[in-house]
Amino acid sequence: MSDPNGRSARGTVTTAGPRLARVRRSALPGGTNPEGLPARRRWARVAAGAVLALLGGWVFASLYVSAGERVEVIALSGDVDRFAEIQRDDLRMVRVAADPGVDTVSGGDVDDIVGRQAAVDLVEGSLLTDAQVLPRGERVVSDNEAIVGAELAPADAPQSALVGGVDVLVVMRPSATASASAGGEAPEAARVNGWLLQVGEPDENTRARPVELVVPEVESAAVQAAAAEERLSLVVLEG
């Protein structure tokens, strides 16, 4: 078949397809990179990477500064019983990042701690605090003394005079059994010297106050029995 000019249509080559492809590629916004992504998206990736790198550097710097703020404090390398003398082997130095206000003892004060008595039972691995150690020279329980807990009603002791370290006369009123066996004669109250180790807060209802009495060990069983039966009174000794 021929066109009006007598030329055959079989050899005709159309260029409409390639032109359309070129137009479509040129219509892509902002051009593309070798990966096929728009250049604008590529720069967004670069910016995001820079932000992540900056954040990582900030975290590292924060951790480094925190590590630099660690201080050396005293910890327990073994258990220490209450009122036992603290030895150098009982203590070790550790570095911690303690917040302001946290009660710790500086490692530089270790010589001041050695030789003092523990105010409470000290547990291995715990950090030492000032409240856990008795002041040097403070009165402590000796080997021939024992601690007895008691609860004193207001009528059993002068409440305002009950303070730690004060000397007291422990008065043990006779039990009902002893009174009955005495016949017509009233048995005398037993007395023993001691001192107050600790005094607690009064009960809201009864106003009774818990105390820790230190008495001679040989008298501790009798004092404990009197305390359990609520027949114990205290007289605070002046001086």
User: Lowest-pLDDT range, 14-28, 90-104, 144-158, 223-237?
Assistant: 14-28
Return d(Cα 115, Cα 103) in angstroms, integer: 21
Give residue 212's Cα distance to chain centre: 26
Backbone angles phi, psi at 17, to 5 degrees: -60, -55
User: Judging by DSSP bridges, how do beta strands 232-236 and 167-172 pair with one another?
Assistant: antiparallel
The residue with greater pLDDT, 102 or 159, is: 159
Query: pLDDT at residue 160 above 60?
Result: yes
| pLDDT reading at 28 higher than 80 | no
pLDDT at 14: 46
pTM of the entire structure? 0.54
pLDDT score, position 22? 47
The CATH class given to the 71-132 domain equals alpha beta
Task: Give domain limits for the chain.
Answer: 32-67, 71-132, 145-236
Q: What CA–CA distance (Å, rounded) separates 49 from 57?
A: 12
Q: How far apart are alpha carbons 139 and 117 in whole angstroms? A: 10
Q: Looking at residue 145, what is its pLDDT?
A: 92
- Has residue 64 got a pLDDT over 50? no
Place of tokens 């069983």: 221
Mean pLDDT of 95-113: 83
Residues 200 and 164: beta-carbon distance below 8 Å:
no
